[in-house]
Amino acid sequence: MDQSVVIVGGGFGGVGCAHVLAHHGVEVTLLDKNDYHQFQPLLYQLATAQIGLPDLARPLRGIFAKSDSVRVVTGEVTAIDPTAHTVELADGTGFSGDALVLAAGAQPNFFGVPGAAEHAFPLYSVEDAERVRSRLLGALDAVDSEPELVDRGGLTIVIVGAGPTGVETAGAFAETIRDIVPGAYENLPVEKARIVLVDHSDVVLGAFSERAQHYAAERLEADGVELRLGVGVSEVANGHVVLSDGSTITTRTVIWAGGEKACDLVGRSGLPTGRGGRVDVEADLGVAGFPGVYVVGDAANVPGPDGDTLPQLGSVALQSGRWAAQNILAVAAGEPSKPFDYHDKGIMAMIGRNAAVAELGTKRHEIDGPFAYAAWLGVHASLLEGTRQKLSALMTWGWDYASKRRPRALADRPDASVIDWDDD
């Protein structure tokens, strides 16, 4: 059939959609501001130097090298017309298609907390993660040279948000400081390092079962992570954060795992938005009043089976992207589109070496400990694009597990590694 589809965004949603359409010979234009696909679930491992950039990023052109009908264009989409099905890039180039799929992802939501956008490090892109890694290594270097900087927050890492990203990041930081510091740094007062996990809720991993929450909290505390639950963050400054109970934590590294919202492009699109600035989509992932427009992944409020909204997860993005493609094909063939049917594969969070929580399948079978860790590795490796990346990532993990080394501990983002030791 002579269909053409424009897809905005090369994450799980956009790539999943393009794969299905390409399989049916539909002409696809896939737009992304980067020339690569990012594997977001493991960003915290890039941030803590457990894996390297090539394990997490893959060229979009490489993914679709054998798909003749997919055209990859690198450029930032600045405007969308959901009625005309046109999009425009920053350089003025325009694209249009019979259908338009918006898979533009999200951005950090700082909820208006003063100073957060300036001073906190988000963890949503590979660039974010490389900046966190450079900051961590820069701080360790600086305190090793001048140990009294520990009293100015040099070894204090504050993580805001105790969802899966925050918990995984806290666990990985604890492990990293424990593993890479001995031997590598001579003067570092490692016993003074603090990792503080802050959340306004009273529990970690709010979406998980009580048992998983308890297990995760115990493991984190056993790893030396300080839990500050039931308090929010009122302010982030250069040198400290202020909590909602009035207390202050002196720190030079604040990681923002406190939530996401749709990116600005979505807000400017004229599409109806709801919670988190995301587009409210119909059951079939289309948008009421805009025929031929589909929104998938983190850019959409995707309806779940019980009338609720599905969480912002890679598996939701991937499945919704593929589903939108199927509906585009159905409509073009004169058939009705179908409501999205999410196959819930469960939720997981890795806390550290040999420790993870997982609730698998629709029955929410709970596992934790080493088996959950193994499941976590397997599931994430299987999601990686390309055999080469799977092998490399598994080899990296296996090697790290055995050797406790961090061959990727490189501070290559000077804007983040050089610390301003003044206080606001």
Binding site for a copy of itself (CB under 8 A): 34-36, 52-54, 57-59, 61-62, 64-66, 68, 71-75, 93, 126-127, 137, 141, 144-145, 180, 182-186, 386, 388-389, 391-392, 395, 399, 403, 405-412
Tell me how far, at minimum, the Cβ of 147 lies from a copy of itself, in Å: 13
Residues in the chain: 424
3 state SS of 134:
helix
* DSSP code of residue 360: E
Contacts of 391 (CB under 8 A, 6+ apart): none
Taking the least distance from each CB to a copy of itself, the nearer of 83 and 403 is 403
Dihedrals φ, ψ of 78, to 5°?
-110, -20
Grouping H, G, I as helix, E, B as strand and the rest as coil, residue 186 is coil
Which is nearer to a copy of itself, 83 or 93 (by Cβ)?
Answer: 93
Nearer to a copy of itself, 338 or 405 (CB): 405
Please, is 50 exposed, middle or buried when counting C-beta atoms within 10 Å of its C-beta (0-12, 13-18, 19+)? buried
For the CB of residue 346, give the shortest distance to a copy of itself in the complex, in Å.
29
Asked if residue 309 lies in contact with residue 303, where contact means CB atoms within 8 angstroms, the answer is yes
What's the CA gap between 371 and 250, in Å, rounded?
37
The distance of closest approach from Cβ of residue 206 to a copy of itself in the complex, given in angstroms and rounded to an integer, is 34
Strand runs labelled E in 362-424: 365-368
Residue 145: both structure tokens together: 């040279």
Going by the DSSP 8-state scheme, the letter that residue 347 receives in this structure is E
Q: Is 130 a catalytic residue?
A: no
Q: Residues 27, 130, 168, 175: which is the catalytic one? A: 168
Taking the least distance from each CB to a copy of itself, the nearer of 2 and 91 is: 91
φ, ψ at 99 (rounded to 5°): -130, 160
Nearer to a copy of itself, 144 or 368 (CB): 144
In whole angstroms, how close is the CB of 54 to a copy of itself at the nearest point?
4
Helix axes 164-184, 210-222, angle to 10 degrees: 20
| Nearest distance in Å: CB 13, a copy of itself | 20
Hey, what are 225's tokens? 């992570």
For the annotated catalytic residues, the residue numbers are 168
